[in-house]
């Protein structure tokens, strides 16, 4: 059993096709007809739907993407849907449900490197050490995803998830990132804790969506207590009941939970109270220049106190100077992370 959102490979093929243009807006349908006729296409109709026949699907979009962009704005390209059918296949009205927005096909050309990475699962993880404050030993590593382009260059998380979001592929990319973190950590023979990010909004059913992640963890013989699942983008989580179900699923499997970017806004503080994670990661914006800012010191101290009163461990992330380090150590901290110790690297830093 698999999820279509997670297994779909959305690619342009070298095949003969019928391309149906569908819109619920009458004015857009008229605009589509005029547009296609100006480009010299022979229009045909079936069940009141306009379509054209093309000898090569891939060539059609590569040749006409600039014309799409010049003649339709993004709101229109989201409203116009395309259904693409093999030329020899029988028409099926039910199949129209799989029609995709025109914008997706435009993105396929513009975001080709991203789609190649996702379709080929060309992902790897870099590792940044997390330091235990009591003895300065390496407690674990945060796995940070990188996409690998065909030429070997890297695509970084901000770009990966921006393109993923606009192409409705967060479900698939988030799953691939979790699995890549586990596989790469196993290859690198990491024995300490591995912190793995996940976006709660990309998981609609924990038992279903997280099954492959748990499968890989078991297959790679990870001790569950050495895996820490780190909740990111907490400010976007509207359904906290659903998030609690996800965390309960992880906890039942023996994994630890970390809450990222605590202190960034009200939402993360609210979640800290409700979710009671094993570890909180205090936001970089609080750590930056904390030695010179009394207000930041007060905020940090309050978070640290609340955490300790609820048996939650505290990780300060984004430490870049010895002054920041000294200040947070004076207030209190369990774990530390940042460029002051090491940047993320493909080969994990084994000693400081």
Annotate the chain with three-state secondary structure: CCCHHHHCCCCCCCCCEEEEEECCCHHHHHHHHHHHHHCCCCCEEECCEEEEEECCHHHHHHHHHHHHHHHCCHHHHHHCEEEEEECCCCCCHHHHHHCEEHHHHHHHHHCHHHHHHHHCCCEEEEEEEEEECCCCCEEEEEEEEEEECCCCCEECHHHHHHHHHHCCCHHHHHHHHHHHHHHHHHHCCCCCEEEEEECHHHCCCHHHHCHHHHHHHHHCCCCHHHEEEEECCHHHCCCHHHHHHHHHHHHHCCCEEEEEEECCCHHHHHHHHHHCCCEEEECHHHHCCHHHCHHHHHHHHHHHHHHHHCCCEEEECCCCCHHHHHHHHHHCCCEECCCCCCCCECCCCCCC
115-336 in CATH: which number? 3.20.20.450
Please check the confidence at residue 79 and state whether its pLDDT lies above 60: yes
Instruction: For helices 266-275 and 294-309, give the axis angle rounded to 10 degrees.
Output: 20
The segment(s) of the chain belonging to CATH 3.20.20.450 are 115-336
**Residue-averaged pLDDT of the chain:** 88
Residue 231 is predicted with a pLDDT of 83
- pLDDT tens-place string over residues 63-77: 999 999 999 999 999
Among 220, 246, 216, 222, smallest CA distance to 232 is for: 246
pLDDT-derived band of residue 202, with 50, 70 and 90 as boundaries? low
| Pairwise pLDDT comparison (297 vs 208), residue with the higher score | 297
Give the class (CATH, top level) of 4-110: alpha beta
Q: What is the pLDDT of residue 54?
A: 95
CATH 3.30.70 in the chain: give the residue spans: 4-110
Q: Which residue has the higher pLDDT, 208 or 275?
A: 275
């Amino acid at each position: 059993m698999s999820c279509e959102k997670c297994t779909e490979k959305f690619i342009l093929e070298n095949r003969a096709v019928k391309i149906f243009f569908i819109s619920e807006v009458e004015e857009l349908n008229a605009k589509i007809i005029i547009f296609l006729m100006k480009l010299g296409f022979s229009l045909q109709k079936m069940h009141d739907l306009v379509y054209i026949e093309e000898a090569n699907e891939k060539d059609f979009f590569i040749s006409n993407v600039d014309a799409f962009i010049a003649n339709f704005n993004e709101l229109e390209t989201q409203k116009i849907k395309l259904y693409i059918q093999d030329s020899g296949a029988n028409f099926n009205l039910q199949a129209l449900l799989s029609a995709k927005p025109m914008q997706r096909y435009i993105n396929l050309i513009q975001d080709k490197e991203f789609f190649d990475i996702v379709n080929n699962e060309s992902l790897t993880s870099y590792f940044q050490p997390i330091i235990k404050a009591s003895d300065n030993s390496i407690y674990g590593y945060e796995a940070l995803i990188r996409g690998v382009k065909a030429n070997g260059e890297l695509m970084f998380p901000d770009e990966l998830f921006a393109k993923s979001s606009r192409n409705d592929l967060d479900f698939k990319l988030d799953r691939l990132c979790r699995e890549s973190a586990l596989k790469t950590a196993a290859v690198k023979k990491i024995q300490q804790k591995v912190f793995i990010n996940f976006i709660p909004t990309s998981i609609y059913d924990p038992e279903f969506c997280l099954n492959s992640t748990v499968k890989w963890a078991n297959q790679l013989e990870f001790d569950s207590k050495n895996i820490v699942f780190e909740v990111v983008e907490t400010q976007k989580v509207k359904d906290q009941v659903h998030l609690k179900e996800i965390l309960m699923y992880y906890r039942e499997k023996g994994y630890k939970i970390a809450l990222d970017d605590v202190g960034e806004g009200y939402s993360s503080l609210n979640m800290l109270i409700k979710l009671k994670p094993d570890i909180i990661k205090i936001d970089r914006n609080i750590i930056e220049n904390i030695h010179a800012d009394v207000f930041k010191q007060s905020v940090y101290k309050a978070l640290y106190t609340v955490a300790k009163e609820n048996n939650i461990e505290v990780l300060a992330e984004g430490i870049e100077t010895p002054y920041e380090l000294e200040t947070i150590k004076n207030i209190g901290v369990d774990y530390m992370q940042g460029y002051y110790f090491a940047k993320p690297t493909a080969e994990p830093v084994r000693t400081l």
